[in-house]
């Protein structure tokens, strides 16, 4: 654009500057997106143990998660697969065994020992000889009963009961924590689903607006700056739609993890 054409009016200079700014903005966004792709690829290579320079062609479509309606069934799956709850229940069972062992000290201790001894002998005196066998059988029955030990047995039983109570409280705390986490993820899942559906409608409406704007630009009803503004609205709404879909998938993956769908079974050699 030469100087004589720039001097035709303030509007021409303004349009030129707006076009230059738009071009620079698009270039900056393009560079930022390339940097984000490169960083994400490097992170993926580190996660998979691949070389840093490995390149990938991503072909899998970003699809919406499957519909979820039965919260009660999901809650049952989460409670049955939660590792923290299972560990707390095991600790509770161990504590119950401790109570039984402590109470066993109140009962008499009966022990029975049996033994058998057999000896063979031979007698010889001149023309006389004889063989003999001696067998000894014995049994020992002992009964021990603790008459008094300063209340140590009672204290051991009380301590064991306290361990059971603490294990029950810990198990209940774990249940409440897992339930709270599930409620939070379920709420985020439902909110992300609704947000994504709304973003789809907004994107569809912006595309139709862009088609109308294209006709108006051709007829001269709007200028290129107005048309670009509508284009940017479409791009921003499309990006927002992808973000809402990503949030929805993240919540769905968290629900799968809680329900045990992502459990890896380890095989011992």
Residues 6+ apart with CB under 8 A from 223: 15, 217
Residue 64 has pLDDT above 50, yes or no: yes
The residue-averaged pLDDT of 232-236 equals 90
pLDDT grade for 122, boundaries at 50, 70 and 90: low
172-209 pLDDT per residue, tens? 777 888 888 888 889 999 999 999 999 999 999 999 99
The residue-averaged pLDDT of 207-236 equals 89
Q: 211 and 234 in contact (C-beta within 8 Å)? A: no
Closest CA to 160 of 107, 86, 109, 100: 100
End-to-end Cα distance, the chain: 76
CA atoms within 13 A on the CB side of 251: 26
Mean pLDDT of the chain: 78
Q: What is the largest CA-CA distance in the chain?
A: 156
Backbone φ, ψ for residue 107 (5° rounding): -90, 150
83-99 pLDDT per residue, tens? 666 676 677 677 777 66
Q: 196 and 248 in contact (C-beta within 8 Å)? A: yes
- Fold annotation for 65-107+151-259: Outer membrane efflux proteins (OEP) (1.20.1600)
Domain ranges of the chain: 65-107+151-259, 108-144
More confident residue, 138 or 180: 180
Q: DSSP string of 41-107? A: HHHHHHHHT--TT---------PPPPP---HHHHHHHHHHH-HHHHHHHHHHHHHHHHHHHHHHTTS
């Amino acid at each position: 654009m030469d100087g004589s054409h720039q001097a035709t009016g303030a509007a021409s200079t303004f349009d030129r500057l707006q076009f230059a700014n738009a071009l620079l903005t698009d270039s900056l966004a393009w560079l930022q997106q390339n940097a984000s792709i490169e960083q994400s690829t490097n992170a993926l290579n580190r996660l998979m143990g691949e070389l840093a320079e490995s390149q990938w062609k991503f072909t899998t479509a970003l699809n919406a998660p499957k519909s979820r309606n039965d919260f009660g069934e999901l809650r049952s799956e989460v409670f049955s697969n939660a590792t923290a709850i299972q560990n707390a229940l095991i600790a509770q069972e161990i504590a119950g065994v401790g109570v039984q062992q402590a109470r066993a000290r109140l009962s008499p201790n009966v022990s029975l020992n049996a033994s058998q001894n057999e000896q063979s002998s031979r007698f010889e005196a001149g023309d006389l000889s004889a063989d003999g066998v001696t067998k000894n059988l014995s049994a020992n029955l002992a009964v021990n009963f603790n008459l008094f030990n300063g209340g140590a047995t009672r204290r051991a039983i009380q301590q064991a009961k306290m361990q059971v109570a603490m294990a029950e409280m810990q198990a209940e705390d774990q249940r409440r924590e897992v339930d709270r986490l599930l409620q939070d993820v379920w709420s985020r899942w439902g909110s992300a689903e609704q947000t994504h559906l709304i973003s789809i409608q907004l994107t569809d409406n912006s595309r139709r607006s862009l088609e109308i704007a294209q006709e108006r630009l051709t007829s001269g009803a709007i200028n290129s700056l107005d048309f670009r503004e509508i284009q940017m609205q479409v791009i921003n709404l499309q990006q927002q739609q992808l973000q809402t879909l990503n949030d929805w998938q993240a919540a769905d993956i968290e629900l799968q993890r809680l329900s045990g769908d992502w459990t890896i079974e380890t095989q011992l050699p």
